[in-house]
Structure formats: structure tokens, C-alpha cells
Structure 1
Amino acid sequence: MKIYKVGKDMGYIPKYGMIIKSTLVIDGKIKITNLSEKNIKEQLEKFIGEY
């Protein structure tokens, strides 16, 4: 797991682009910007279902 801090780390920019609000990235593939509990659960279930 890697935590990037906006303003300090720039390594995320080539991977994910500019992030200006809270964002969750799962396995470097799924980028979630709407961090509602429902949306996170749906995306995690989708991710787990792929494996």
C-alpha cells in the first residue's frame, strides 16, 4: 500500500493524473472519487469479484 500526500509526493501524477479531492485507488486500477460508503462497497465488491 502506498499513501501519496498531495503537495509532497509527485509520483502519483503520471499514474493517476492530478488529484484535487479525496480519491481512493484500488490495486492501481480502480479510481474512486465519490467516496460515499455505498460507492466504496460497490467498487470493492466488483474488485473482489474479479479475483
Structure 2
Amino acid sequence: MYEILFQHMDALKNRIRAVCREITPEILTRVRHSFVTRAQACLQNEGGILSI
């Protein structure tokens, strides 16, 4: 998606919509799990910098 230059806003919007349709429930599950894991690590580190 980042390699394409768009001449018209409608083309960009259509591309974004197409890419969003490719997001699967499995991807969202992995994102949620990763977010929870990182949030827990942040809390355990009392908000300090994490290296995950």
C-alpha cells in the first residue's frame, strides 16, 4: 500500500477500503492479544520504557 502514489483522492480512498476488507478476524485477534500483552508489560514496568 505504501508503494503506490495516487493522483486522485478517490483512488486512495478506494485502496484504503480494499485493504481494510483484507483484515481478517484472525488478524484482529492477534492484534488484541498483542495489545493486551504489551499493556500488561507496561503495567508491570510501572509505565516505563519497554523493549518487547
TM-score category of the 2 structures, normalised to the smaller one: 0.3 to 0.5
Q: Give 1 or 2: higher strand fraction.
A: 1
Normalized per residue, which structure has more helix? 2
Answer with 1 or 2: which has the greater Rg: 2
